[in-house]
Structure 1
């Protein structure tokens, strides 16, 4: 074999090896029978306007991971979270799902980590639970809904929680849920289709305008679904932010909206190809983009279809890029956290 042929062969092997990288899934959801029963008892038979609750088991999760070459998954409880249980019962429900997740991780430490659920809008109870699961149960971070009983994440009442999470350099996975008065705006359609995208955009914009990103720089915020509409609306949001006073009346902070977005982490859950992933990459770069399946709310065939589209993208080796990023974002997969 001549040197040029040998070089091409070596390059081809390197490309194939790169694209065979095992994924780290930061957006994988679990359910328990007790949790679903509590939700149905509260009247949530069609969560977020969906026709039914999906089923989940550890065996199903591991099978999806095996079939799609996913090495590690960070489990979390999706919408509607635990707030529906009310202030009296939400803390116990949060403890239940978090203890279940911690037990699952303990049984499969190489395969799973978890983001803990918090019983907001009760800030005091949320702080107690955050400290418990991060300090004693090794939670990788917490998952917060885009709003909790109408309270969005820029609300000043949440400042003590942000202080708690900032001290622990926690990941905060911001997951969309139904907006207040969802029936009036969803027009009878499932809210994950459109309303979830607006919810993510709304609550992250609220965080930016409230100055949370500047005041708590050691929190690592993770935004799903390619940032929803944020990459598209960044310039429009900045147009208003640049003239909008800070909550204390001071002039707007110096960091432009796009600069603040580059401090977030993002996942590729949903249908990122061919448009959303490219737009997100153009706006924030590829250094903070992670992989997410959204299983079990995305069924097995949907997970496979999404990964096939990512693997077929000639412009980016998403397996390599997202896996390398995960090593920096998540200590559990062998890297060090980056602010």
Structure 2
């Protein structure tokens, strides 16, 4: 019960109703799952998660073309998030939703959410209606975030192009979307001009660890920079393990990321509980025999970003049925993970 989950979504009823009114019943090619704070807590208990940082996934406010409506929805979501955290301050935190791509309005709401609501950071979509994070013209928002040494959780959205038939966006396009945003943040030197912002890339950074050297050579050639300096910018992102704690992905991620920059993530409820347990078992298998590495990924690295959680009371022990259910599920999935790793 010590994990800190930095990739844990919320789908409040009011938000779901707004999506339904716009004819939206899915995100990234997946139907919107059921969600409540109570069910979040139950899943957290079974997965050994002490605290989850809540965030709204794609489409956020981007489905609203009227800027005033987007601002109103962002404020509603942030007020509701703050109330959930106030009711369970040791179990939840939240990343504030911003009305992107409106930079000025997003800067105003970021200031309100961070200063008045005490959000733990903000969530920004890799692209908001085709405008990518890191494109020119976003300095007003980055200045507000840099002044507050804010943590920015970058979550992918649907690519600004038709999906390929038979390939749901969450399966592959999301990884490219995150990679595109990371590329622009490095290429346009946002990482260097705003050094106090801590950026977390979802899903182990998409393709960033795998393609980092290729991208570094490209950027270095364009900007006449050292490829090693560009690689430093890429490896300095933070990365979560959501849907990525596998024997294939973890070694590459840990070899690439700066020490202390890998964080636990579940992606619940868009990742069903079986997937949460599967990748948690993958992390357990990979870190078996290295308790320090496990502790760093599951908790201590996150505490460096969210020190307030270090003073939280220990999470209550789950009920015996929940412990038994979780133990059986993890045992089975851990065995499957070992078999796949040995294959």
Measured against the shorter chain, the TM-score band is 0.7 to 0.9
1:319 paired to 2:289:
no
1:143 paired to 2:123:
yes
Q: Pick closer, same or farther for the CA change 1:64–1:301 going to 2, 3 Å.
A: same
Q: CA deviation at 1:330?
A: 1.1
Q: CA deviation at 1:139?
A: 0.3
Supply the distance in 2 between the matched residues of 1:46 and 1:324 (Cα, whole angstroms): 34
Q: CA deviation at 1:285?
A: 4.5
Secondary structure of the residue that 2:221 maps to in structure 1?
A: coil
Equivalent position to 2:190, from 212, 216, 222: 212
Supply the distance in 1 between the matched residues of 2:70 and 2:32 (Cα, whole angstroms): 20
Secondary structure of the residue that 1:71 maps to in structure 2?
A: strand
Supply the distance in 2 between the matched residues of 1:257 and 1:280 (Cα, whole angstroms): 17
**Are the equivalent residues in 1 in contact too, given 2:266–2:276 (CA < 8 A)?**
yes
Supply the distance in 2 between the matched residues of 1:182 and 1:231 (Cα, whole angstroms): 26
Q: CA deviation at 1:44?
A: 1.6
Gaps spanning 5+ residues in structure 1: where? 1-20, 246-250
**Are the equivalent residues in 2 in contact too, given 1:200–1:228 (CA < 8 A)?**
yes
Gaps spanning 5+ residues in structure 2: where? 312-343
**Are the equivalent residues in 2 in contact too, given 1:200–1:227 (CA < 8 A)?**
yes
> With structure 1 as the length reference, what TM-score do the two structures score?
0.87
Supply the distance in 1 between the matched residues of 2:40 and 2:47 (Cα, whole angstroms): 11
Stretches of 4+ moved more than 6 A in 1?
none
Deviation by residue 1:225-254 (Cα, 9 ceiling, x = unmatched):
111110111110111111113xxxxx4378
Number of aligned residue pairs: give it: 307
Deviation by residue 1:239-296 (Cα, 9 ceiling, x = unmatched):
1111113xxxxx4378623211232111100132111111011112442111001011
Deviation by residue 1:301-330 (Cα, 9 ceiling, x = unmatched):
211111112112236445312211111121
Q: CA deviation at 1:88?
A: 2.9
Secondary structure of the residue that 2:236 maps to in structure 1?
A: coil
Q: Which residue of 1 aligns with 2:12?
A: 32
**Are the equivalent residues in 1 in contact too, given 2:246–2:282 (CA < 8 A)?**
yes
Alignment of 1:280-319 (within 5 A): 280-313=253-286, 314=288, 316-317=290-291, 319=294
Supply the distance in 1 between the matched residues of 2:209 and 2:226 (Cα, whole angstroms): 20
Equivalent position to 2:230, from 257, 282, 296: 257
Name which of structure 1's ranges 148-157 and 138-147 shifts more when overlaid on structure 2: 148-157
Equivalent position to 1:73, from 42, 47, 52: 52
Supply the distance in 2 between the matched residues of 1:316 and 1:230 (Cα, whole angstroms): 26
Supply the distance in 2 between the matched residues of 1:34 and 1:241 (Cα, whole angstroms): 43
Q: Pick closer, same or farther for the CA change 1:193–1:254 going to 2, 3 Å.
A: closer
Q: Which residue of 2 aligns with 1:10?
A: none
Q: CA deviation at 1:211?
A: 0.6
Secondary structure of the residue that 2:204 maps to in structure 1?
A: helix
**Are the equivalent residues in 2 in contact too, given 1:225–1:266 (CA < 8 A)?**
yes
Supply the distance in 2 between the matched residues of 1:135 and 1:253 (Cα, whole angstroms): 38
Q: Which residue of 1 aligns with 2:213?
A: 235
**Are the equivalent residues in 2 in contact too, given 1:85–1:93 (CA < 8 A)?**
no
Q: Which residue of 1 aligns with 2:167?
A: 189
Supply the distance in 2 between the matched residues of 1:260 and 1:93 (Cα, whole angstroms): 34
**Are the equivalent residues in 1 in contact too, given 2:244–2:279 (CA < 8 A)?**
yes
**Are the equivalent residues in 1 in contact too, given 2:126–2:132 (CA < 8 A)?**
yes
Supply the distance in 2 between the matched residues of 1:96 and 1:103 (Cα, whole angstroms): 11
Secondary structure of the residue that 2:186 maps to in structure 1?
A: helix
Q: CA deviation at 1:34?
A: 1.3
Secondary structure of the residue that 1:85 maps to in structure 2?
A: coil
Q: Which residue of 1 aligns with 2:93?
A: 113
**Are the equivalent residues in 2 in contact too, given 1:26–1:73 (CA < 8 A)?**
yes
Alignment of 1:98-137 (within 5 A): 98-137=78-117
Supply the distance in 1 between the matched residues of 2:242 and 2:231 (Cα, whole angstroms): 21
**Are the equivalent residues in 1 in contact too, given 2:217–2:227 (CA < 8 A)?**
no
